[in-house]
Amino acid sequence: MNQKIIDSIEKIVGKEGYSTRVADLYTYGFDASIFHTTPEMIIQPRSTEQVSEVMKIADAYNIPVVPRGAGTGLCGSAVPIKGGIVMDMSRMNKVLQISVGDLWAEVEAGCVYNDFNAAIGKYGFFFPCNPGSAEACEIGGMVAANASGMRAVKYGATRDFVLGLTFVKANGEIVNAGTKTIKDSSGYQLARLLCGSEGTLGIITKVTIKLLAKPKSTASCLCSFNSVHDAGKCISAIIAEPLIPASCELMDSVSIEAVNNSQGNPLPDCKALIIVECDGEPEQVERDLKTVERIAKDIGATTVTATHDKKQIAAWTSARKAVMTSLSALKPGFSSVSLADDMGVPVSKIPDAVLAFQKIAEKYRVTIATYGHASDGNLHTKMLLDPLDKDEWDRGVKAVSEIFDVCIELGGTVTGEHGVGISKAPDFQKERATELSTIRAIKQAFDPKNILNPGKLEQWEGSILGKVPLRYPCKDYM
C-alpha cells in the first residue's frame, strides 16, 4: 500500500492501531470458512470517528474495506477477496450503557456476545440469540450476519433485537439509525436494513439492543429415534401442538457417531435424536416437558429422558455443539467442510429435506452430517472431504448445489443464520432472483464506488471454487 496512505491512516489510529506485517496480513486473510485472500492492511479503530476518517481516505483512493468481527463466520463474509483494508472492530468492545427500565443496552460493535450477556445478566436480563460461537463472536458481526442460534424458534434472530445502530457509510458519513424505544414506526428502518448486510452497506460501530427478562426455569428432554424421518415428524408435531420450545436440536446418525467417537459417548447410540429445551415459569415448564414426552412416545421414540439437571443439560448442549469439530476425527485424512451449511426449510418439511440430503450424499459419494436448530427449520450439513482431492471437492460442490435446490423448492432459504458471503452466493442469487435488481440498487445508493466488502453476495460470479484460494491444501484450487 502507498506509504502516503499508510502515513495518513497512522495519524488517525496511531502506530498501535494498524499493521502491515506479513504475519498479521496472512492471519486476517481468512475467517472460519474455507477461503483465504491476503489484505494489504489491518486497521483496529477505537471510535466511530476513527472509522469515519479512515473511510474518507478509502473513498478518496478507491480502497476496498472489509469490516471484521471475531472472524467466526463460516461462509467467507470477512475474507478480503479484493485485497485492501480489513477493519477489525475488536478494540471497540465496550458495553456503553444499560437501561433496564427502558429495556435496552448500547454496546460497541466489538463487544463479545458472552461478555454482553454477563453484563446484562446481573440485572436479570438476557440477549437470547445464542450463536454457536457465543464465547468469541462480536455483536457487530452478529448484526451484519443476522446471526441467531438454538433459541430462534421462540425468541427470534439478532434482527428482532436491534432497536438502533450507528454505522459509517463508504464515504465516511456517520449515520445514527433507529431509536431507543421499543416501538418505532418512523419511516424506513435503516437499522434493520443493515442486519444481514455483511459489511456491504456500512461499517457498524454501535448497536442498541432490546433486553428480555431471563426465564425463571429451564429443562430439557432428549428423545432418540430409529430414523431421522421420525425425529423430524416429532419436531413438527411439537410445534403443531402448539408448543414453542426454547430450542429443539436435531442430530442424525453421522453426527451422533462423530460426537460419541470423539467425546466419550455422551449421547445414546441411535439413528437420530432431538434435544428439546423448555423454559418459562416452573409450572409451564413441567407441563411442556410432559407434552414433549407424550408426543415423542406416540411417534415411536426409543428413549425419552427429561431433566432439570443443569450439568446434564450443559453436557447435551456441549455434545451438540461439538459436531463440527468431531466430524473431522470421524474419518482419518478427511476434513469437515462448510459448503452447504445452514439452510432453512419450513418446519413441516424437515423430514423431506433430510431424506433428500441423504439421497444426494449417496448420489455424489460424499459423507454428509445433518443437524441443527430444527424447530425453526434451520438445518446444518457438514461434509467430510479429502482436502487434497479435486474430484471430491467437485462432487461436494455439485451435492451442495442440489441440496440448496431442494431447500428452495421446499419453500426455504439457502441460509438461516450464517449469511451468504462466498459459499452461498450463487444459490442466494437463485433464491432471490426477483430481488437482485433492487438489492443492487440499494448497494449502489449506499456505496457508489463499491469499496465496502466488494464481490460478495449479489456481486459474486461463477462457482464458489477457483476464484478465491482455499485454506485447504488442494493445489488445484490454490
Residues 138-161: tens digit of each pLDDT: 999 999 999 998 899 999 999 999
Residue 368 backbone phi and psi in degrees, to 5: -125, 130
Please indicate, yes or no, whether residues 33 and 141 belong to a single structural domain of this protein: no
Helix (H) or strand (E) holding 277: strand 272-280
- What was the pLDDT predicted at 382? 86
Biggest distance spanned by C-alpha atoms of the chain: 72
The residue from 195, 213, 231 where one domain ends is 213
How sure is the predictor about 477, in pLDDT bands with cuts at 50, 70 and 90?
low
Q: Note the pLDDT tens digit of each residue in 439-464.
A: 999 999 999 999 999 999 999 998 88
Asked if residue 191 and residue 81 are part of one domain, the reply reads no
Give the confidence band of 388 by pLDDT, cuts at 50, 70, 90: confident
C-alpha 321/C-alpha 315 separation (Å) is 10
The reported pLDDT for the residue numbered 474 is 65
Q: Are residues 74 and 202 in the same domain?
A: no
Among 96, 99, 133, smallest CA distance to 116 is for 96
Please say if the pLDDT value at position 342 is more than 70: yes
Q: Pick from 235, 242, 206: which is nearest to 379 by CA?
A: 235
Answer yes or no: are the C-beta atoms of 414 and 424 closer than 8 Å: yes
What is residue 329's predicted lDDT score, i.e. its pLDDT? 84
Domain membership flag for residue 473: no
User: Does residue 475 register a pLDDT over 70?
Assistant: no
Average pLDDT over residues 358-383: 89
Whether 381 maps to a domain, the answer reads: yes
pLDDT of 195 above 60: yes
CATH of the domain at 397: 3.40.462.10
Q: Is residue 353 situated within a structural domain?
A: yes
**Closest listed residue to residue 372, CA positions, set 362, 364, 382:** 382
209 or 478, greater pLDDT: 209
pLDDT over 90 (residue 350): no
Nearest to 410 by CA among 377, 386, 442, 453: 377
Rounded distance between C-alpha atoms, residue 44 and residue 340, angstroms: 32
- List, for residues 392-405, the tens digit of each pLDDT value: 888 988 998 999 99
Domain range for 70 = 3-88
Q: What cell does 412 get? A: 426455504
120 inside domain: yes
Say if 468 falls within a structural domain: no
Q: Is the pTM for the entire model greater than 0.85?
A: yes
Domain count across the chain: 3
If you search the block for the grid coordinates 459448503, which residue do you land on?
Answer: 339
> Are residues 196 and 227 located together in one domain of the fold?
no
Judge whether 417 lies within some domain.
no
Supply the mean pLDDT for the chain.
93
- Percentage of the chain beyond pLDDT 70 is 98
pLDDT band at 36 (very low <50, low <70, confident <90, very high): very high
| pLDDT at residue 478 is higher than 70 | no
Q: What is the mean pLDDT of residues 339-348?
A: 86
CATH number of the domain that 141 lies in?
3.30.465.10
Asked if 253 and 396 sit in the same domain, the reply is yes
What is the reported pLDDT for 465? 80
- Say what percent of the chain tops pLDDT 90: 78
Same structural domain for residues 306 and 382? yes
Residues 200 and 329 in one domain: no
Looking at per-residue pLDDT, the higher value among 94 and 354 belongs to: 94
> Does residue 477 belong to any structural domain of this protein?
no
Q: Under the phi-then-psi rule, with left for phi > 0, alpha for psi from -120 to 50, and beta for the rest, what region is 280?
A: left
Q: Are residues 234 and 197 in the same domain?
A: no
Which of 390, 409, 428 is where one domain is finished? 409
Looking up residue 51, the CATH number of its domain turns out to be: 3.30.43.10
With 90 as the cut, is the pLDDT of residue 337 above it? no
| Same domain membership, residue 239 and residue 193 | no
Going across the sheet that includes 41-43, the strands are 18-19, 41-43, 85-88, 65-68
- Mean local confidence (pLDDT), 347-355: 88
pLDDT digits 0-9 by tens, 50-77 = 999 999 999 999 999 999 999 999 999 9
449 occurs within a structural domain: no
Name the residue among 64, 56, 66 with its Cα closest to residue 86: 66
Nearest to 170 by CA among 45, 22, 66: 66
Q: What is the pLDDT of residues 101-151, one digit of tens each?
A: 999 999 999 999 999 999 999 999 999 998 888 899 999 999 999 999 889
Q: Are residues 228 and 321 in the same domain?
A: yes
Structural domain ending residue among the three candidates 27, 54, 88: 88
**306 and 357 together in one domain:** yes
By DSSP bridging, strand 65-68 and strand 85-88 are parallel
Q: Are residues 7 and 109 in the same domain?
A: no
pLDDT exceeds cutoff 80 at 169: yes
